[in-house]
A and B are shown apart, each in its own frame.
Chain A
Amino acid sequence: MQASRTGRQDGAAALPDILRDAGIYALVALGLCVPIVSFRTELTQNSALDLVPRWAVVAGLCAAIFVLRVIQRLVLARRDARRALTPSAHQATEAVHGEPNAGQRASRLALPLFVGFALGLPLIAVLATGGLSQSRYWIDLGILILTYVMLGWGLNIVVGLAGLLDLGYVAFYAVGAYAYALLSTSFGLSFWVCLPLAGLFAALWGMLLGFPVLRLRGDYLAIVTLAFGEIIRLVLINWVDLTGGAAGISSIPRATFFGIPFTAGEDGFAARFGLSFDTMHRNVFLYYLILALALLTNAVTLRLRRLPIGRAWEALREDEIACRSLGINTTTTKLTAFALGAMFGGFAGSFFAVRQGFISPESFNFLESAIILAIVVLGGMGSQVGVAIAAIAMVGGPEMLRNLGFLRAVFGEGFDPNEYRLLLFGLAMVAMMVWRPRGLISVRVPSVALKERRAIAGSLVREGHG
């Protein structure tokens, strides 16, 4: 530290120091790997365990840690040296004004850009891959990402705006999915009737679960919502008569184009509109459906932020005690946030059910909640654009791993990059938090201002413990 602060030439002199430090890291890595990586337990024929030593993997891991640490130290030393050269006063002003303005400009431009790109994606995909059926992968990926964008925007109302930490959001997603699945399979209701009903059910559940936890804050609230999410999942697994248990519900009616089914028959979508039949029509329709739902969520959120209720949410996030002393009814404020967030989760859930045609409780486990929360926090708690970027990074990034087949040439035939998807996902979550604890877009622009809207850097916002 001492050496790096005084200048760049000292950075080189500290190389033995860096190497020693990296050596310690490698040693720790060795200690961590010793039994758990170095020996793999293999089940034998008579269901006993056999140990297979794998010291080469351990050596590789330790070497990788060593190299990464050396690189990290060198980069850090250079950054410190550059910081030391610039006057500290500049840094202070940068924190207050420089960053927000850039962020503000970026976020103003980003939303129309995103919407434009999202609207054109099927066309781009078809042109780039050279055919409707070849573009299937990209359109499906778009649907997946947009589902998470929508879920992120829905949860953003609860976590980002109202500041209520919800780790069980997936419960409402599940309620929406099961509401559509059960209503359509038992009563034959169409998707467009079920969609608002599913939203209503989810909102009702949001209120039901929100009511008992009104007094809780912060981490406690997070854990209770986690417990609620798990309870709903366990009930879905065990209430076999209603939900089909762990086997789930299959053959859920597929989406129709406002009543016109996507079939090859006479009154199918293709025949009615004079197109040649292609199963991809349904996927493109689903893509635009989820895009519309996501944009609806965004529009409602942006409008609500300007209404008294939205301002009350944001006030609640910043300081609950001040809120109460100003006469804001925190009960209704919290409950509306829970209910609205849950409603959008329910919409997304019924979309999920209609897209998959099959749902089971395993789709609604805690990991999903964690991913959605990570998207919101990484996006910057309350920033709509940030959530969209984070959803693309968190969902699209791991998806890219599927395409890394060439790594097999490096690591051998048995290597499957897909296995490492969640492992890297967890690491990325930690790295993102260490790198930007306040998320990608941490700037706050007040929804309502007296004269001019001035952005506030995230580091200047003190959040209460709501």
Chain B
Amino acid sequence: MDVFLQQLINGLTLGSIYGLIAIGYTMVFGIIGMVNFAHGDVFMVSSFIALILFLLLTTWLGLSSIALALLIVLVLTMALTALWGWAIERVAYRPLRGSFRLAPLISAIGVSIFLSNFVQVAQGARNKPTPPMLNGGFTLLDQGGYAVTLSYKQCLIMAVTAVLLLGFWYLVQRTAFGRAQRACEQDRRMAALLGIDVDRTISLTFVLGAALAAVAGVLYLLYYGVVSFSDGFVPGVKAFTAAVLGGIGSLPGAVLGGLIIGLIETFWSAYFSIEYKDVAAFSILAIVLIFMPSGILGRAEVEKV
């Protein structure tokens, strides 16, 4: 029971991070129908940006309050990563709009290879650890020597995720941009006829996706305390799995899928084998796509002749 509870907490924490990345996949797929393969690497870049900003604030500028530093890091990282998302869309995807269907995917793979090697060249190939911060936590249950703890980090991760998702939900459901975004998702040409600036909406979608990936990047860095240039690929594929599992194009689906993937991964590691946890996640991707291609909350695709 206590092991189960501990794994539940760990799984939900991991799932929140996957969910945040998955939103970027699902929104981009919804609006232009492409798998933004580079999204996982954008997440990795944001993690590095956060690491460097954090070091700058604490060691160079001598900021002593960790909470304030984290807040500034979060905001700045979101802004800088959003710029990356915008630039990538502008350079690598926009010229290919309306082109041959494989071209954006290949371009995205190119961006992904570029980003991970760019970071490797710029920052070196070794793992980069952060100074330990926000240690400690609440002990929820302590019986028979096994304590179930909810660390402050995990609280923070889940709280930040929940708040941001609420804000994001409001943005998509209640604002003019959200309406434009959903309109473009349904029918890009019709939306353009009704006076929506489609290019701008797509750009903003990438910006938002990157900003959410940046939040995930900051939280990932906080949680694991270490990042390396190759950390983008596997979380990226898992987040994509989450987006597909929840039903691609559906925002609540992406978060739900993220939580499910996070839970499966932690429970698999705890009860079966830690070596095969990635195999489990990838197998779920394959199984879901084969038996339930529209996911849990997605709409079934209608085949038109």
Q: Do A and B bind each other?
A: yes
> Within 8 Å of chain B (Cβ to Cβ): is A218?
yes
> Are A430 and B290 also in contact (CB < 8 A) when A51-B59, A219-B35, A230-B282 are?
no
Q: A419 to B121, Cβ gap below 8 A?
A: yes
Among A36, A226, A377, point to the contact of B102 (Cβ < 8 A): A377
> Within 8 Å of chain A (Cβ to Cβ): is B275?
yes
Q: A438 to B100, Cβ gap below 8 A?
A: yes
B interface secondary structure, majority: helix
| Residue in B52, B111, B124, B275 with the greatest tally of chain A CB atoms within 10 Å | B52
Q: A437 to B282, Cβ gap below 8 A?
A: no
User: What is the bound-complex CA distance between A158 and B200, given in angstroms?
Assistant: 37
Q: A32 to B283, Cβ gap below 8 A?
A: no
Q: B233 to A366, Cβ gap below 8 A?
A: yes
> Within 8 Å of chain B (Cβ to Cβ): is A455?
no
Q: A47 to B105, Cβ gap below 8 A?
A: no
- B183 to chain A minimum Cβ distance, whole angstroms, is 23
> Within 8 Å of chain B (Cβ to Cβ): is A396?
no
Q: B118 to A423, Cβ gap below 8 A?
A: yes
> Within 8 Å of chain B (Cβ to Cβ): is A35?
yes
Q: A216 to B55, Cβ gap below 8 A?
A: no
Q: A321 to B55, Cβ gap below 8 A?
A: no
Residues of chain A contacted by B111 (CB below 8 angstroms): 426, 430
Q: A227 to B83, Cβ gap below 8 A?
A: no
- B169 to chain A minimum Cβ distance, whole angstroms, is 26
> Are A430 and B114 also in contact (CB < 8 A) when A43-B126, A51-B55, A321-B303 are?
yes
Q: A36 to B83, Cβ gap below 8 A?
A: no
Residues of chain B contacted by A28 (CB below 8 angstroms): 83, 87
> Within 8 Å of chain A (Cβ to Cβ): is B45?
yes
> Are A434 and B293 also in contact (CB < 8 A) when A41-B124, A321-B305, A422-B117 are?
no
User: What is the bound-complex CA distance between A17 and B117, given in angstroms?
Assistant: 33
> Within 8 Å of chain B (Cβ to Cβ): is A40?
yes
> Within 8 Å of chain A (Cβ to Cβ): is B84?
yes
Q: B110 to A430, Cβ gap below 8 A?
A: yes
Which of B90-98, B160-168, B174-182 faces chain A?
Answer: B90-98
Which of A137-145, A231-239, A267-275, A295-303 faces chain B?
Answer: A231-239
Q: A231 to B283, Cβ gap below 8 A?
A: yes
| Residue in A40, A165, A228, A230 with the greatest tally of chain B CB atoms within 10 Å | A230
User: What is the bound-complex CA distance between A429 and B93, given in angstroms?
Assistant: 12
Q: B109 to A434, Cβ gap below 8 A?
A: no
8 A Cβ contacts from B70-125 to A:
80, 83-84, 87, 91-92, 95-96, 99-107, 109-115, 117-124
* Number of residues of chain A lying within 8 A (CB) of chain B: 62
User: What is the bound-complex CA distance between A297 and B29, given in angstroms?
Assistant: 36
Q: A429 to B107, Cβ gap below 8 A?
A: yes
> Within 8 Å of chain A (Cβ to Cβ): is B251?
no
User: What is the bound-complex CA distance between A123 and B171, given in angstroms?
Assistant: 67
- A351 to chain B minimum Cβ distance, whole angstroms, is 25
Residues of chain A contacted by B103 (CB below 8 angstroms): 377, 433, 437-438
Residues of chain A contacted by B282 (CB below 8 angstroms): 227-228, 230-231, 234
> Within 8 Å of chain A (Cβ to Cβ): is B267?
no
Among A219, A366, A419, A427, point to the contact of B110 (Cβ < 8 A): A427
Residues of chain A contacted by B110 (CB below 8 angstroms): 374, 425-430, 433
> Within 8 Å of chain A (Cβ to Cβ): is B131?
yes
Residues of chain B contacted by A51 (CB below 8 angstroms): 52, 55-56, 59-60
> Within 8 Å of chain B (Cβ to Cβ): is A370?
yes
Interfacial residues, chain A to chain B (CB-CB below 8 A): 28, 31-32, 34-37, 39-43, 47-49, 51, 165, 212-213, 215-216, 218-220, 222-224, 226-228, 230-231, 234-235, 237-238, 321, 366-367, 370, 373-374, 377-378, 381, 419-420, 422-423, 425-430, 433-434, 437-438, 458, 463, 465
Return 7 A-B CB contacts under 8 Å, by A number: A49-B55, A213-B286, A426-B110, A428-B110, A429-B107, A429-B110, A458-B100
Interfacial residues, chain B to chain A (CB-CB below 8 A): 29, 33-35, 45, 48-49, 51-53, 55-56, 59-60, 80, 83-84, 87, 91-92, 95-96, 99-107, 109-115, 117-124, 126, 128-131, 233, 237, 240-241, 244, 275-276, 278-279, 282-283, 285-286, 289-290, 293, 303, 305
Given contacts A220-B289, A430-B114, 19 further A-B contacts (CB under 8 A): A32-B84, A32-B87, A34-B80, A36-B45, A40-B124, A43-B128, A47-B129, A48-B129, A212-B286, A216-B289, A219-B29, A220-B244, A223-B244, A227-B241, A234-B279, A377-B106, A427-B114, A430-B92, A430-B107
